Amino acid sequence: MFDRFDIIGLGAPPVFEAEWIQDGATTHDYDTFTTLSSGAVNDIVPVWDDLLFFGYTEPESLVRQFSIGAVREFLSLSQSEFSFAFNGWRYSRNLNLLIYLGQDGGGQWKPYLTSATTGIVDTGDDIGSILAVIGTVCLIDGPSSYYVGFTDDQQLFVYLASASSISLSFDSGAAWGGYTKFECLVPGEMRGSEFDVWLCADNDLVKLTFTAQGTFKSSTVVATFADDLRYAVYDDGDLIVWTDAATVKRVNGTTGATEFTKTVPYQIETYTSRKLGDPDLQRLTNELYFVASSTSYFTDLKTGDTRSISGATNNPQIYYYDGQTDAVITTTGGGAPQRLRIIAGDGTQRQLSDFLQALMEAGGFDPSEIAFEGDIDEVIDGAVIDVTAGVRDIARSVCAPYSIAVFERAGQIIFKRAFTDGAFAIDATISSAGDVADNA
């Protein structure tokens, strides 16, 4: 450090450079979506293959579509046919339609087949007793689409959906099979003339088989355990099940033999209070993701071993995990949608946006004066910076190799990714009015 530098005697001050190396601890990176409206998202329906999700907002009766990659809302349309309560939202890629259960003023539930852009296509028959509580549902989406679910009085139901109609194809009546508690439904194998759905019923793992018309064909208790079941996922013909005694088991889907039993450091809740999304809304590859007590847990589906990473939210809302992109879709406590990615660090790398945020704040900018647009998700080893330069100059030099523009809009410093489309046409990074570029 130089104090009272002798400019007259020694000449102009030298230019100083410093190498900044980011601290690389593993972090939970929560990105809140840019939205078209401020209303809370009351439900989430991930469509992982398209990297988007749908949600709805009550009481405005809005169906909303969000891009997971761009972390922003793309579509928000009013739906006048909403009932006063909703449950079991699913999206059929086969039909390009949403399905949900609505409860009318008489307390009866029925399905609604709806387009996100044009509204209600059809409604189906009532299901369940008056004021029933809907348990969990699942969607089997193939050449035909089947919407399967249960109620709190152990009533199973199946609806067959087409591009223009949804009709009840099976209704078991209450207390099916004499069971006292259903917990989870999991899509299984789909064959040309039939399909399977797996059910966690008390301490039994049950395989239900339905015909191509959605009618009931058979049921088989594949395995019975000492503890009641809470959750299950289907993996290569086997079932991985979690019990109410904080254990996980892998079960052969043909013989019912248990391949492993492991204790897990968390307890999956009953469906009435579960934040973990339903199995058919997860895209799992190797692990199940679960969050509790500010810790993210990953349980290996092949071995049952669990690893953990601290630093998660201590107040998780409903969440869904994609094993292919290692992303979690969730909401804040106020209902704003968020994307979580865990940035793994080994002491050398951290996220570029974290450095830019800290740099600008160190230069005197308030957090509200800094904004990021587009998918800025690079990690960097460090940066060589001129410590005599202003923070905007430093930020611009760091961003240049990443095609990230730095400009000012309405008193905010904006960092924005320059996108290209399939024809390599560059996105208009800076607006024609109101944006002031840091550099030409």
Answer yes or no: are the C-beta atoms of 214 and 193 closer than 8 Å.
no
pLDDT on residue 432: 52
Predicted pLDDT of residue 390: 84
Task: Return the closest-CA partner of residue 221 out of 202, 194, 246.
Answer: 202
| Rounded Cα gap, residues 332 and 363, in angstroms | 29
Identify the DSSP state of 172: -
Residue 343 has which token pair? 């940035």
Residue 296's beta-bridge partner residues? 291, 309
pLDDT reported for residue 176 = 97
Q: Under a CB-based contact definition with an 8 Å cutoff, are residues 277 and 268 in contact?
A: no
Closest CA to 347 of 309, 374, 301, 382: 382
Q: Amino acid letter at 78?
A: S
362 alpha carbon, distance to own chain's centre: 33
- Length in residues, the chain: 440
Residue 414: per-residue pLDDT = 93
**Which pLDDT does position 379 carry in this prediction?**
75
Alpha carbon of residue 154 to chain centroid:
28
pLDDT of residue 1: 45
10-residue mean pLDDT series, the chain (440 residues):
50 53 70 90 94 88 91 88 80 95 84 90 89 93 92 96 96 96 97 94 98 97 98 97 98 97 98 97 97 96 96 94 95 94 68 84 87 81 72 87 87 81 48 56
